[in-house]
Every structure is written in C-alpha cells, then in structure tokens.
Amino acid sequence: MFDQFWHDIWIILFVLLIIIGVFAGQGLVIGLGAMGLVVAGISWVWNKLSLEEVAYTRKISQSRVFIGEDTTLAITVTNRKPLPLGRLEITDEVPEELLVADAEISPSANPRYNVMRHTTSLAWYERISWEYKVTANHRGFYRIGPARLESGDLFGFFNSEARASDNDYLLVYPQVVPLPELGIPAVRPLGETRGGIAIFQDPSRPAGIRDYQLGDPLKTVDWKLSARMQRLQVRTFEPSSSFTVVLVVVVETAERSWEGYSPTNLERVITTAASLASYVSEKQYSLGLFSNGTPILTDRPMKIPPARSPEQLTIILEALATIRPLPIGPMAPQLAQYTTQFSQGVTLVVVAALINEDMVETIDDLRRHGYKIVVVYVGDRSCPPLPDGVLVHDLQDHLEKMEMASEFGPR
C-alpha cells in the first residue's frame, strides 16, 4: 500500500510537469512530463502482464514417510512468455514441524507455519528450479502451501500478486519400534495360544457338504443342493486359523478435559499402538482399530473393522498419524458400546497412558463377557490394579529410559 502511494505520487508529478510546461511554454518540461507518463504507461502494461504465463510447480518425491525419514521437495518456476521479469518473489508456507534444509525460512503470520522465500529474475521462456531435502520430525498430516508470487514492472512503479499453486500434503507415519526394544516380550506378547480345540468356524474357508443334523444353523443350509438331493444338506467350514486383534487406542492423557493433554504421553500411546499394529500385521492376524481420538479430516471416532488384507496396516498407520490430541469423549462408554459388534474370541489390546475407574470397570466387564484383554500401559504414573486374567505390559520405566537416550518420541 505504501509503495502504491508513491507510485501514484510520481504519476501526479508527471501530469503536473506537463501542465506547468504548457503554461510556462517550456517544451523541455512538457517533454519530461510526457516521457514520464509514457514510462508509467509501459510500466503499467508490463506489470499487468508480469505474472501472466508464469507457472509455479511444487513436487514432493514421497508424500508418505516415517518420522526421521527424508523426502525431496522440488520447486520449479517457468516464464512462458516473451516478456522478462526483472524481479520475482515467491513465498510458500511450510509447517514448522518440517525441516527444509538450506532454504530461506522466516516466521509466518499463520500460527505453526514458516515462510519459505525465493527471490529471483526470469528471462523470457526461462525456467529455474530448486531442490530441498525435507525431514519430518513429528507424525501428522501436513499442508505445504499456498504459494504466492509477487512481481511488477522493471522500473518498480507497480506490483502484482497472485496465488501460484494448489496445496501439497505430506503424511508422516508414527514411529514404529520393535516390541523387544519397546519393552514388550517377543514371545507371546499378546498371550497368543496355538493349538487346542477350535470352536470358531471361518465362513471364508469352506470345507465341504454333509447331511443336516439337529442343531445346525439354517444359514448353513445349501437349499439348491438340498432340493436336488431331496434331503437337507449343510455347508461346513474349516475352523478359523488366525487371531483377531483390535487395537484400542485411548487418547485421553488427563483426568479432566480442561487440563488439556500430555504431548509426551500421547506420543507414547501412538508410537506403541503403531508398533503393535506392525507386529500383528507381520503375524498375519486379523487387525482392527478403535479410538476415541479423531483424525484431522473428520470429527468422528476412528473405527476400522478387523481385516487381514495387506493394506490394513497402512490404513491403520495413516489413522494413527492423524489422531488429534484431545479425545471426542471418555473411552470407557464408547468401548463398551463398540465391542458389542464383535464375537467372542477377539483379543482387545488396550494402549493407554491413563486408566481411570470407569475404564477398569469396562475392562472387567469385557473380560467377563469372554473377551481376551491385553493392557499396554505407557503412562508416567503407576498403572492401577486390573482384574485377574488381564495381561498387562507396564512400559513406564522402559519408555523413560528410551526418551532419555533420545530413542523414542519426536526428534
């Protein structure tokens, strides 16, 4: 605004020079004023065209990385017209959680963002590129952009601004730590048992056909085959050969909502849950997720039904990467309601930094209803007593040692 004021003053002065020259009969003064107006006119047209056909592109080599990993940010600006740009300033917003090596960075008016700045000039049909190494030091879903271009005429009379490109996004997965390093025994960390009598049948694994017997559920009757054979035939299935594990990620880290949250304890919960998800996926167990946290792009609790597909681990890691710091509500009543959708035999792995009395009662109630409960406690206070039959891994001391050695948590 200040620069525009002085630009307008110069134009007014050129007009005044022409008027003074006319009344004074001074051709030199008139010529000087006219020349100034011609320059101003050329500058105005140049300014209007300065950002036309200027293309700005931003490309991230890997849009999904883990904490501590690097990716490459490539920036290219191209002048696609025969008019050169004497100056071009580019500003691009970058989250403060991302470290952009060797870039010109300054604070932004937008909270939690920095400004990456480029200043250059462009000849006609010229292209300039920059490439930076970006390091992600914290899990999350980050926006890079928007970028703005600023240019003008060669004489500095006028300025033009324009938004340059759409936003790009970088997803940073939570840290994944091998269970022994996390402090969880590698042998049967979830209390898995092998062998024994299989009492659950897997409908996805058909075994054959046999005659109907009293007590067989009607949903297993093969009606077409029964009509052909004139007697009831039922489908049989092999027993389930895999465990079903649901990670219960408890987001609350403070007794009362107005107390806020503990960043350290929250990252303990997320990292531990991600590490357990990786272990369960390696074992090819059926894996699901339930949390009273909410991802960044929605206001609904996270409910990922159990599945054994190769993509399930990626889906769960993406959800964990975007969990917000505050819960949508207490976990205890939500967990009690959600588990009604599961059959017996499901293993619930509760990852929590805070277990209150209501949560203890819910865990006990679920245990009495036949669910297998594993509690992985990561809080900075003592774990409360839990009912008999609940497998407990208290990782408090182990995680504190890892944090002191800078082996755990945000870097």
Please determine, for residue 194, whether its predicted confidence score (pLDDT) is greater than 60.
no
State residue 215's pLDDT score: 66
How confident is residue 279, by pLDDT bands cut at 50, 70 and 90? very high
Pairing of β 105-107 and β 113-122:
antiparallel
Residue 126, by phi and psi: left (phi above 0), alpha (psi -120 to 50) or beta? beta
The mean pLDDT value for 231-246 works out to 73
- Interval 292-348: pLDDT, tens: 988 776 666 688 888 888 899 999 999 999 998 888 888 999 988 888 777 667 899
The mean pLDDT value for 231-254 works out to 79
How confident is residue 400, by pLDDT bands cut at 50, 70 and 90? confident
Please determine, for residue 143, whether its predicted confidence score (pLDDT) is greater than 80.
yes
State residue 299's pLDDT score: 64
Pairing of β 113-122 and β 85-95:
antiparallel
How confident is residue 7, by pLDDT bands cut at 50, 70 and 90? low
Tokens of 262: 């503990």
* CA 393 – CA 391 distance, rounded (Å): 7
In the sheet where 391-394 sits, what is the strand order? Answer: 302-307, 286-291, 244-249, 347-352, 372-377, 391-394
Pairing of β 347-352 and β 372-377:
parallel
- Interval 104-120: pLDDT, tens: 999 888 888 999 999 99
State residue 346's pLDDT score: 85
* CA 322 – CA 224 distance, rounded (Å): 49
State residue 341's pLDDT score: 75
Q: 219 exposed, middle or buried (CB, 10 Å; 0-12, 13-18, 19+)? A: exposed
Helix (H) or strand (E) run with residue 357 in it: helix 357-368
Please determine, for residue 160, whether its predicted confidence score (pLDDT) is greater than 80.
yes
* CA 391 – CA 375 distance, rounded (Å): 6
- Per the model's pLDDT, the better-predicted residue between 368 and 216 turns out to be 368
Which CB contacts under 8 angstroms, 24+ apart, belong to 301-309?
A: 301/328, 301/334, 302/249, 303/338, 306/244, 306/245, 306/246, 306/346, 308/242, 308/284
* CA 173 – CA 405 distance, rounded (Å): 21
- Interval 17-70: pLDDT, tens: 667 666 776 667 666 666 666 666 777 777 788 888 899 999 999 999 999 899
State residue 196's pLDDT score: 36
Residue 113's contacts (CB-CB under 8 Å, 6 or more residues apart) are 93, 94, 95, 96
pTM for this one?
Answer: 0.77
